[in-house]
Structure 1
Amino acid sequence: MRRTTFLRVRPLAVVAFAAMTAAGSAGAADLFGGGATFPVQSYVGDNFLTTVPVRARLSRNTTNAVTTSPIATLSPPDTLFARFSSGTGNKISYCQTGSGTGKTVLIGVGSVINANGECGTYQTGTSPAGFSGTAAAPNYIGTDSPISQADVTSFNGGPRAARELWQVPTLAGAIALPNHSALGFTNLTTEQVCRIFSARITNWSGIPGSGSTAPINIVYRAEGSGTSFAFTSYLAAACNGKFTIPAGYFKPNQSFAAAVPAVPGQPGSAAPLYAASTPINGNPGVVTSVIGTASAIGYADYPEVDAQGAEFPTVNSASPAALPASISIPAPLSGQVLNASNTPVAVTGMTNPACLRLINPTTIPAGVTYPILAYTYMGGYRNTNGTSTTPLRQLLGYFLASQTNRPAPPAGFAYLDGDANYRLSVQNTINTCVL
């Protein structure tokens, strides 16, 4: 399917929340953050695609930068972060590291733990060492793989435990399935998606209309990724125990390699019995790789697929581009996290558990027909935000209908605030958990 322009639904009418204003802040601040690549088109746009050298991970308009890596600047008024900056007078940066690294920087435990490490660039192929921030602790992070009980336990044993944590959902987005342009199919059924990614079909001759007899090359995220978590959650729900696929075959995980069965005799291998597979860092990298790899298919957020002009199928004849600008879901769960089985459970070890808000990954928004969705989040510290408190509250406010200056989301993304109970619960979390 080629890129299609869809009419966007107008944002909801303004709802009066006293704490959320578009006025400039009395003391402007620079906010440093990073993490998930899934929401980057909504947060900072696609300017990073055209910087020289191309593929910059870092987008910012901060004035006290510490990095030497290429930078993509924010472009008002098209993106949410640019609207926030122009509307409040605050500066902001975002480094695309993937959700896994975003969470290790927040928690302070893992292979990458400090925000003041170099963000780097996709051009070099090296992994990011941080967010190119000015301090070890970030102001905020983005993640599509919500905070788990294991994350909370690690945080409590780490160097930043006294700060406590908050997490709120921000957007829903469609995960598209980019494919190489030489392939001719325009639609896949749930069964076909399941059989491709479970290696029940390993050659394009098994997909009517593909126009190819080449082996299927699966392009997937190499690093810990919230996009992988959401996609493997979909595969587990839609495929396990069906279409000759065993129950429990897919195990939702931010690591795609951990979510699918290993190759026999190769414990820890990165894929099942695919004819070919290619691990790539970042959603932008996945799409670029698919475009340049014959017989390839992968998964990434729809706006990234659209920005790079990649081909993609509808799924069950529904397009990932057709999400409305705002959708209705119930108020997020309070004080709950995902356990080892990715089931929501009451969090333990938190002084203020209600500051963690979670959407059950199985939630299906009313009226949405495209089946592969992800929910993305922001997280940060409840305490010691200092002069960043007001800017952080304002930033989170841009995801609510009370913010008259928020932009319409890119096609394939939706705000979550179509329900009044949802708006009130998130607003209360912002007011009481960002201090």
Structure 2
Amino acid sequence: MHLNFFDFNVNRWTISIALTALAAGIVSCQPQTPTATAPETTPAPGAAAPGGTVSISGAGASFPAPLYQRWFAEFNKQNPNIQISYQSVGSGAGINQFLAQTVDFGATDAPLTEQERQKFPAERGQPIQIPMTGGALVFAYNLPGVDNLRLSRQAYCGIVQGDIKTWNDPQISQANPGVNLPNTPISFIHRSDGSGTTFVFTNHLEAACPQWQAGAAKSVSWPTGLGARGNEGVTAQVQQTQGAVGYVEFAYARENQLQMATIENRAGNYIAPEPGSAALAIENAEVPEDFALTVPDPQGEQAYPIVGLTWLLLYQQYDNPAKAQALKNVVEWALSDEGDKYAEELGYLPLPDDVTKRVIAALDAMKVAQGQ
């Protein structure tokens, strides 16, 4: 049995993101992408590839990278012959590498588009797109002395559209009575790379902000702000810039002790970002056959309003039976009770039991090329 979907025991996660590495993700620099590569070890008896190590590579979304890194490291401790590396390069780059067959799996926070599916290599069968976890996107900000900032929809829409330019703007002050907001310029930090996090964020903006004109996609033309690469880069830029605000995944903001705004949801309630309120956003949601569930503006009274899933991308056809079996094994382990505890610890959302069963069943579509 999985843990109750709402029974979160959120402890501080042990993966730290060094500020120097984060700063390397800012748009003006070349990013240093974190890699989860397990150490070389002697293969265990009964290994998936007798007499050798199975090496698996993946690339994509930065949103789930801390969790994937933890999962793969913990899985390797139990299966030392299976080495899994993961590059946090953003959803857009991850999809491109997956389609180019330069990795064994991709990762994305935005479901595959029809155009991307048409580029899928025919010799690989069909793409298998499976959700692994979910999480909240937060407005992380840097305003010393302002610890409980509340942002109305009108306020945060105005910030991302460039209409609200200082922190003491009346549209922000109105929701923060008694708070001494400074006359500091607002520096909005957004993603510069093709990003599934941006896909989730702009889908919400399109639903929640009547004046939003930039659309919803992995990359958009931002009307204001400064770009940075990855959740890592946005986190670093917010840390370094007084008056900054940017959108990042909850786990990055919490681990780096960034201030997080409480924001107004569709029902008009102000909701703090945390796993319990994020889980309410996808409660009872109908997950389609291809698992491409999006919740741009959840209706729940107490639901946090900006929440997304993240997917692994697998090939239907693999030419290495040991690699195909190892991928099945790691997915099943990650979605088990044991994997769930790491998701909860880091502030992510374990999948509901019924969705997990469907994901495991979808793995049966994976095959090994004939003649191998």
Is the pair's TM-score, using the shorter chain for normalization, greater than 0.5?
yes
* 1:171–1:399 CA contact under 8 A, matched in 2: no
> Aligned equivalents of 1:363 and 1:204: distance in 2?
25
Q: 1:322 aligns with which of 275, 284, 288?
A: 275
Q: Does 1:232 align with 2:197?
A: no
Alpha-carbon distance, 1:228 to partner = 0.3
- Provide the residue aligned with 1:37 in structure 2: 62
Q: 1:174 aligns with which of 121, 136, 140?
A: 136
**What amino acid does structure 2 have at the position aligned with 1:177?**
F
The 3-state SS of whatever aligns with 2:134 is strand
- Provide the residue aligned with 1:255 in structure 2: 219
Alpha-carbon distance, 1:328 to partner = 4.7
> Aligned equivalents of 1:400 and 1:144: distance in 2?
17
> Aligned equivalents of 2:133 and 2:262: distance in 1?
21
**What amino acid does structure 2 have at the position aligned with 1:423?**
T
- Provide the residue aligned with 2:304 in structure 1: 370
Q: 2:151 aligns with which of 188, 196, 199?
A: 188
* 1:37–1:96 CA contact under 8 A, matched in 2: yes
TM-score (norm 1): 0.64
Alpha-carbon distance, 1:411 to partner = 4.6
> Aligned equivalents of 2:7 and 2:291: distance in 1?
31
The total of aligned residue pairs comes to 307
Alpha-carbon distance, 1:319 to partner = 2.2
The 3-state SS of whatever aligns with 1:95 is strand
- Provide the residue aligned with 2:15 in structure 1: none
Structural RMSD (CA):
2.8
Q: 1:292 aligns with which of 213, 234, 240?
A: 240
Q: What do the CA deviations read for 1:290-317 (whole angstroms, capped 9, x no partner)?
A: 1111211100101111122211112233
| Structure 1 residue runs without a partner (length 5+) | 1-5, 11-22, 45-78, 109-135, 258-270, 335-355
Distance 1:357 1:329, change over 3 A: same
Percent identity reads 24
> Aligned equivalents of 2:133 and 2:62: distance in 1?
13
The 3-state SS of whatever aligns with 1:377 is strand
- Provide the residue aligned with 2:255 in structure 1: 307
Alpha-carbon distance, 1:202 to partner = 1.9
* 2:142–2:259 CA contact under 8 A, matched in 1: yes
Distance 1:388 1:94, change over 3 A: same
* 2:294–2:309 CA contact under 8 A, matched in 1: no
TM-score (norm 2): 0.75
Alpha-carbon distance, 1:374 to partner = 1.5
> Aligned equivalents of 1:406 and 1:7: distance in 2?
11
> Aligned equivalents of 1:151 and 1:210: distance in 2?
48
- Provide the residue aligned with 1:146 in structure 2: 111
**What amino acid does structure 1 have at the position aligned with 2:243?**
S
* 2:140–2:238 CA contact under 8 A, matched in 1: yes
* 2:294–2:308 CA contact under 8 A, matched in 1: no
> Aligned equivalents of 2:152 and 2:214: distance in 1?
18
> Aligned equivalents of 2:250 and 2:57: distance in 1?
25
Which deviates more, 167-176 or 317-326? Answer: 317-326
Q: Does 1:87 align with 2:51?
A: no
Distance 1:175 1:380, change over 3 A: same
> Aligned equivalents of 1:384 and 1:302: distance in 2?
34
The 3-state SS of whatever aligns with 1:168 is strand
* 2:271–2:302 CA contact under 8 A, matched in 1: no
Q: What do the CA deviations read for 1:70-94 (whole angstroms, capped 9, x no partner)?
A: xxxxxxxxx2222222233321111
> Aligned equivalents of 2:207 and 2:226: distance in 1?
24
The 3-state SS of whatever aligns with 2:131 is strand
The structure with the largest helix share of the pair is 2
> Aligned equivalents of 1:210 and 1:24: distance in 2?
64
